[in-house]
Chain A
Amino acid sequence: MTGRGRDRRSRKGATIVPIEELTREATFRRLAELARRTDPPPPEVAQAAMSTPDDVAKVTRWRSVDDELASLVYDSEQDLELYENVRSLSSSRRLTFEASELLLEVEVTLGRPRELACQVVPPQPAVLEVRTAKGSQACETDGFGTFHVSSLPPGPVSLRCSPLNEGGEPVATSWFRI
């Protein structure tokens, strides 16, 4: 470190080793230290993650264990991945979520703010709740099981569908980003 007097000291007193004398591991340590110092997760990201169980449950009045989880079975973005060279002409994304008794077909328009159109299959009246990390809004579908919501901010979303027909059990989709 003192080699040939080329090391310099910053005002803070940190020793600066000449680049060519840095070993591979020293280079990595320096980089890791730099990431910790200059690129940590912002406090609001940490706070949101820490408060997830409590606040999301409170805000959405919902616990994941109570609802059947509708899993993602189709996502047009995955198609784009498979056919990377095929340019999609539409600026919307289509997703399908499947539960035992129903399907939720979702179309997201990628403008800003996001618009979301949803179709319950088979068509039936239901209450659809759109949940974001900041809160939720609920609305009844029309008689054909369609539902439209505009002005959603980009970010994670989950839909909860409570069929109004007798015997219909609530279904929640996994969280997806819009």
Chain B
Amino acid sequence: MAALVEAARDGDQLAWKMIVARYLDLVWAIARGHSLDHCDAADVSQTTWLRLYEQLPRLREPEKVGAWVATTARRESLRISRQRRRQRAELLPADCPSTAPAVEDSLPELVAERDRLFWSAFGDLTPPCKRLLRALMADPPPSYAEVSAALGMPVGSIGPTRARCLERLRAHLLNLSAPRGREAL
């Protein structure tokens, strides 16, 4: 990564694209984990990438570019969440028309049904669990140092928190599926 950062600093377009490709989904996941809609998550992404580009020549630890990107995405996500709360409180018009979450209609019925069940159980988690699990779901999977930066959480507590959050998710899944009968799922 440090070599890519060095190359991107010198104007190597391919190196820049490789850095972006590595962290594009992580930045998106961090924003989405903060319950931001598509439009706001796109804004967080854009700001984060512009910041990184601007800061490339000044990054003191180029090998930690992933953590830097994750920290920036977290701060931007928090900032935009606060701004949205304020706009709602002051009845200002929203910046982005809210878009319904995309559930593919083309998916086979059973798979789509279970997708809805999983997203619904995920949606019932506490905000800290959502932020952590969504960041961990990024593709490619982030390092714990990057997750730590994405959450503002010590590396040591990621594992235990992850386990607790997944247990809660399983409990929600069982709850949600029970009343409808397992056969339907």
Instruction: Give the interface of A toward B (CB within 8 A).
Output: 6, 8-12, 14, 16, 18-20, 22, 24, 27-28, 30-32, 34-36, 38-42, 44-46, 48-50, 52-54, 56, 64-65, 69, 77, 80-81, 87-88, 91, 110-112, 133, 154-156, 158, 174-177
Contact = CB atoms under 8 A, between A and B. Distances in A.
B13 A53 contact: yes
A19 B43 contact: no
A52 B92 contact: no
B100 interface: no
Nearest to A177: B47
The majority secondary structure among interface residues of chain B is helix
A52 B16 contact: yes
A64 B115 CA distance: 44
B79 interface: yes
Given A91-B90, A133-B46, A35 B137 contact: yes
Contacts of A49: 20, 24, 45-46, 49
Given A10-B108, A49-B20, A69-B54, 9 more contacts: A28-B133, A28-B137, A30-B118, A34-B119, A38-B115, A41-B25, A49-B45, A49-B46, A111-B93
A48 B46 contact: yes
Contacts of A88: 86
Given A19-B173, A27-B166, A42 B50 contact: no
B108 A27 contact: no
A133 B177 CA distance: 45
Chain B interface size, under 10 / 10 to 19 / 20 to 34 / 35 or more = 35 or more
B137 A53 contact: no
Contact of A10 (B111, B119, B173): B111
Contacts of A27: 166, 169-170, 173
A81 to B, nearest CB: 7
Given A48-B46, A64-B57, A110-B92, A34 B166 contact: no
Contacts of B103: 38
Contact of A20 (B163, B166, B174): B174
B46 A6 contact: no
B185 A52 contact: no
Counting from the closest, the 7 A-B pairs by CB-CB distance are A41-B28, A10-B110, A10-B108, A49-B49, A35-B137, A32-B137, A175-B50
A19 B182 contact: yes
Contact of B24 (A6, A8, A41): A41
